[in-house]
Chain A
């Protein structure tokens, strides 16, 4: 036994070292930027980070404000782009970000992104507050149905994202989920690779969370309608709405869109029907093509929204 252990441990150690080198050299896993929670309770990235996406074909950057993507050359006529992993967009190179395509189509405006995976609607609105000093003329907030349900802790309690408690009408800021473990996992690339490749299937999803059925694109009776109405009431009282445009993902619920329109939000509804697929084969996020098409549709509808806003001001 002694002899076996004397051989197995060095072999394991060498395997770990060589594995780490190989995983790093081949970028077998994506580099992940480190997160922090700022003074306002918003979870973002540590500024000025850079890393490779899986496979090493492109890299991502975190700007000085702690958000993925490059900063605009000027902050005049600034339009903020806020959203979840679709805007974070690590899976595509920087040239495939919404801000880049929007700038190509709307040269008189400047676009800046603030995206982080998991951002809910209420969290996006909290993030929007941070940019008031840059005086953006409009905020584009990219949403899907889940972002509404995930905004309300009574519907889908999630510790790691900012939510509204509709019983107390207060914001509950998200906490970092196992930050220590994440730090180790992201630094120890081999372990992170193994964790991704061989997930601990039965250890995850221990918390039973209510299933949210949100596919009611045909105006069926909306689930959680009272809660969503309360959410909208809170938003109307606590955020400026007339400079916010909600960009709805394709196939979003028409009932939710109607609630948002009634609340006074500007709405852009994306449509990917009768088009090539917008998403990756093994990932539900948009490809470069998907981002381009989304930006084209937004560029067609946004000018009239901006005109209306100008007239109102």
Chain B
């Protein structure tokens, strides 16, 4: 089920009503309803793949319980690796099997031999990368004794399948989300209203910004041979806003909906396009995934400690794995590698934690230096997005070569003024809200009629400028 679908607009009020008005007094029933609703939400796409979630949930619940009673380190390690192998095994099979077979064949072909091996027609279960990482975080935290394993199986199943964030994140940690299922939830007016605002803003990002940018970005990327450098640059720029609007929009909707049900999810995007360097960008982009990699891979590998070689190795591992997480294609791996190359100089010069505050803190406008820094960071990020969006690595290189030639300074053939205007307004609002969890958090300063008019304006823009695309990009990851 998509957030931007009519069925979801029917589904949500039904679940909300049952949750608060029918099962409001019984925590267990509320949790059970969440599990049931989440399975309906997921099964709407393909009920067969529910078995994977249920299996993963049983496995990690069981391993959590066993880890608690098991004191022998070797046995504990075996249990941990069972969970990791099975979860990563599912992910590897459904997401990466064909990639590995094809790459294997290609490498043999490269060296002059021909082998044949069959690829499979595998459907990628929606959200598998997200819920796999979520359940893994639980097992690893229990193993490391950072978390008491739960004995409440319904809460655990609800934690794994919680429908607002099941298919495209944020990837919640068990330490944050699971305890919320144990406590009686209260309906707080302020939380629900703020959740509503965040949801509207997320829908606006998706339906107006991402879908409209997608229309032009797709045309330009799909016919990149036909366009001048300036048009290709515009295509890359529009894709940068498409992916941001799409993904952060989804996170905003997920967080907003969770607040209706009395849950607090972690912020997943903290206005990343206002970053002054690439390290800051990665602290602000897809925070739940970046911190997952940081805590479960980067730090166990030694992080930024140790020899120079080790530091470089760790940075490359983290970014390449991150790229590979996004998809079974060399384009994502190159995208990860490129970001590692961007990040490395900052780390080696020990300047990766220079910009930890909000840009132009407590000021309306940034200074010249900040503008240049933000523009440069955005520019290199956009260049990297070309690899993310291109069909193949060669397509990406061709795209960039065609982009960086003399025609870069000509007038673009495609100039969607309305979309560019909408993106500018969107950036303006995001800029004003950059200190907060989401752009509309402090809209309370407006009087009610003004505030409602503003909501109305956003909703009407959704009606009027609704784009062609519908599915969220990150569903495929």
Could you list which residues of chain A lie within 8 angstroms of chain B, going by C-beta atoms? 1, 3-4, 7-8, 11, 14-15, 18-19, 22-23, 26, 28, 190, 193-195, 197-203, 282
Contact = CB atoms under 8 A, between A and B. Distances in A.
Contact of A4 (B6, B187, B459): B187
Nearest to A1: B187
Nearest to B24: A1
A202 B464 contact: no
Contacts of B466: 197
Interface residues of B, number: 22
B182 interface: no
B20 A1 contact: yes
Given A1-B187, A3-B189, A7-B193, A198 B4 contact: yes
Nearest to A199: B6
A18 B456 contact: yes
A30 to B, nearest CB: 15
A22 B460 contact: yes
A22 B463 contact: yes
B455 A19 contact: no
Contacts of A3: 189
Nearest to B6: A198
Contact of B5 (A18, A193, A201): A201
Contacts of A200: 5-7
B334 interface: no
B14 to A, nearest CB: 14
Interface string B91-129: 000000000000000000000000000000000000000
Contact of B193 (A4, A26, A193): A4
B7 A15 contact: no
A202 B7 contact: yes
Contacts of A198: 4-7, 9, 470
B12 interface: no
Interface of B: 4-7, 9, 20, 44, 187, 189, 192-193, 196, 452, 455-456, 459-460, 463-464, 466, 468, 470
Closest 3 CB pairs of A and B: A198-B6, A198-B5, A1-B187
Contact of B6 (A15, A28, A194, A282): A194
Given A4-B189, A18-B460, A203-B7, 12 more contacts: A3-B189, A4-B187, A4-B193, A11-B455, A22-B460, A23-B463, A26-B464, A28-B464, A198-B4, A198-B7, A198-B9, A200-B6
Contacts of B187: 1, 4
A281 to B, nearest CB: 11
B7 A201 contact: yes
Of listed B193, B463, B470, residue having the most chain A CB within 10 A? B463
Nearest to A2: B189
B49 to A, nearest CB: 14
Of listed B6, B9, B187, B466, residue having the most chain A CB within 10 A? B6
Contacts of B470: 198
Given A4-B193, A202-B44, A19 B7 contact: no
A19 B9 CA distance: 16
A22 B187 CA distance: 34
Given A22-B464, A23-B463, A15 B189 contact: no
B7 A193 contact: no
A213 to B, nearest CB: 21
Contacts of A18: 456, 459-460
Nearest to B460: A22
Nearest to A194: B6
Contacts of A8: 196
Contacts of B6: 194-195, 198-200
B452 A193 contact: no
A311 B454 CA distance: 73
Contacts of B460: 18-19, 22
A199 B5 CA distance: 7
Contacts of A14: 452, 456
A4 B5 CA distance: 24
Contacts of B192: 4
Given A1-B20, A19-B460, A19-B463, A11 B5 contact: no
A26 B462 CA distance: 13
A193 B463 contact: yes
Contacts of A7: 193
Contacts of A28: 463-464
A200 B456 CA distance: 25
Nearest to B457: A18
Nearest to A28: B463
A15 B460 CA distance: 8
Given A3-B189, A4-B193, A11 B463 contact: no
16 contacts: A1-B187, A4-B192, A8-B196, A11-B452, A15-B455, A18-B456, A18-B459, A19-B460, A22-B464, A28-B463, A190-B463, A193-B463, A198-B6, A198-B7, A198-B470, A202-B7
B35 to A, nearest CB: 20
Contacts of A1: 20, 187, 189
A246 B464 CA distance: 42
